[in-house]
Structure formats: structure tokens, C-alpha cells
Amino acid sequence: MSASSRGARTSWTARTTTAIDTRSCRSSSSPKANRRRGLALACATAATAFAFASAEVSAQDGPGTKTSDVRAQTRLFRRGSTAVTETQASELTLTLTEAAVRPIQTWIRTAGALDDTRRILTTSLRSPEAELVQIGQRLRAFSVLSRTQMYQGKITRITPQPGGARVEATLAASARNDVARYLMEIVVERGPFLSVPNVSIIEEGGSRVVYLKLASGEYSPRTIHTELEGELYTQVVDGLDEGDQVVSIGSFFVDADNKLKSGAAEEQ
């Protein structure tokens, strides 16, 4: 992982972009997609404010001022790509991550029963999920009545059964309520795959897009095809090569800025 170099704070314009730091960034009915759409809308709104504020300040300061120079450096280099100054990258904590082969972890979600000791959870899994579970894997557990209390634990016993397995997990601490049924989320490794961070991916009308940094320093949108989506990373089956650098933190700003400038270029 590499990051753009830092520069000094300069203008009101750069400070405006700070409001859309995307460190918290993840089909229409899922909470994850809703969060992404919400972030995309927020970034687009902030980028619009960024453009109008830049134009206003530039008009007040006149050509040749520092504000005008910063705005000029963020011009659209060519259709379908955009650029970010070092100052803006620093303000946004813009971060690049390589497309690389790495292990992908996912959750197996199932319901489990808590025993009288308040520490042992038992569940039955069917194949093929049962084959992914191994002793020592970590899990978290929540009461089916509330997700406000979460318990950490590990898989401690696996008993094969026809068509699956009986799985036992031991909690790190005794459950503090009388509920017998718990939601279990078991972390399993699915293997090494070419992948990018989940936060790099932008949903666009059924397509998935990342912003690839080019040798020229521009950031170009690249449509990718994905399969396995893990806890932190998503498998890429087409669209990127190993070693390609994509924007992770800051991807929604780059996307909003690119769309804003592309729209302005089309109107000219």
C-alpha cells in the first residue's frame, strides 16, 4: 500500500474537501449498498460545492492567485479521467492499494443454542459450508433479541454428520442474559484470490467501478468483474492485473470529481 505524498494546507478549496473523508465507506435492498449510495450522494454534493466555491473564490481573487492555480491543477485531463493535487490528496488522506493475491475471509452466519454454562454454543451446518469451518477459527455471537451485546469466541469442536457437521464454539466470557438462541458469525478463509479493498469499489447501475492510477498521474475509472466478496476484500476476476494501483480511501471523492468535470466538459 502506498499513499500520495503530503503537501501543505493551502486554500479554502482544499479545506472544503476534507468533509468527505471516506474512511467509513461498503443491490438496492442491502444496508451495505444503501451506505455506498449515501456516501456517493454525499461526495457528489460536496464535490459540487467544491467546484462552485472554487469558482467564486477564484473570481474574487482574480487569475494568477493561489486558489486559481489549485483549481487549474484539478482540471480534467481527458474524457473519463481526473487528477488530484498533492495538497488535495493529503487533505483527503487519499490512499492507493495494489490489486494483489491475498486471502479473502467471509462470514458463515447461523443460529446456535447456548448451553447451561452460558459459554458453549452449538450449531449444525450443511455442506459445503461445513467443510469451510475449522477448529480455532474465530466467531462473534449476538442474542437473537438484540445485537447490542456481542461475544467473541472460537470454534472448539467439529463433529462430522451426514451432509454436514455439528459445530461447537466456546465464548471468551459467559453470556450475561438468559436468552438461549444466538446468531453466530464464523470467520472462514476462502483462499487466496486477486482482490481489491471493498472500499475501492463503487456501484454504478449494476456495474462495479474502481479508480486506477495511471502512469501519467491521472485516475481513470475501470469497470471490474467480481465474484467472492469478503469481510475486507473482494475477488476481481476481470478488469485489473496484479500490481495495479487503485484508490481505496478517497475513491468516492475521485469519482464525484470526475463526474462533475466530465459533465462540465460535455456542456462546453
Q: Compute the average pLDDT of residues 158-178.
A: 94
Residues 120, 186 share a domain: yes
Average pLDDT, stretch 78-88?
65
pLDDT tens profile 108-125: 999 999 999 999 999 999
pLDDT-derived band at 268 (thresholds 50, 70, 90) equals: low
Mean pLDDT, rounded, of the chain: 75
Main-chain phi, psi angles of 89, to 5 degrees: -60, -40
Residue 120 sits in a domain of what CATH number? 2.40.30.170
The yes-or-no verdict on residue 233 having pLDDT over 80 is: yes
Residue 84 one-letter amino acid: V
Binning pLDDT at 50, 70 and 90, where does residue 91 land? low
Report which of 243, 251, 238, 183 is spatially closest to residue 211, judged by C-alpha positions: 251
* Mean pLDDT in residue range 158-177: 94
pLDDT at 121: 97
The whole-number average pLDDT for the span 76-96 is 67
C-alpha cell at 251: 475513491
Q: Within a domain: residue 111?
A: yes
Q: Does residue 3 belong to any structural domain of this protein?
A: no
Please report the pLDDT score of residue 84 as a whole number.
Answer: 72
Rg over alpha carbons for the chain, rounded to the nearest Å, is 23
Say whether pLDDT at 43 is over 80.
Answer: no
Give pLDDT tens digits for 151-166: 999 999 999 999 999 9
Please give the C-alpha separations between residue 143 and each of 114, 135, 179, in angstroms, as whole numbers. Answer: 10, 23, 7
**How far apart are the C-alpha atoms of 186 and 89, rounded to whole Å?**
37
Band (178; pLDDT cuts 50, 70, 90): confident
87-101, 128-142, 151-165: range with lowest mean pLDDT: 87-101
Separation of alpha carbons 259 and 208, rounded Å: 15
Return the number of other C-beta atoms located less than 10 Å from residue 201's C-beta. Answer: 22
Looking at the chain, the whole-number percentage of residues with pLDDT higher than 90 is: 47
Widest CA span in the chain: 78
Which of 146, 166, 190 terminates a domain? The answer is 190
- pLDDT of residue 192 exceeding 50, the answer is yes
Q: Are 145 and 180 in the same domain?
A: yes
**Lowest pLDDT segment from 75-79, 134-138, 174-178:** 75-79
Are 28 and 80 contained in the same domain?
Answer: yes
Number of domains in the chain: 2
Report yes or no on 100 lying in a domain: no
Q: What is the tens place of the pLDDT at every residue in 9-21?
A: 333 333 333 333 3
241 in a domain, yes or no? no
CB 123 within 8 A of CB 186: no
Q: Is residue 228 part of a domain?
A: no
Q: Which pLDDT band, with edges at 50, 70 and 90, does 102 fall under?
A: very high
193: pLDDT strictly greater than 50:
yes
Q: Note whether residue 235 is domain-resident.
A: no
Q: Print the domain residue range for 139.
A: 105-190
Beta bridge partners, 141, equal 151, 184
Rounded CA separation 33/265 (Å): 29
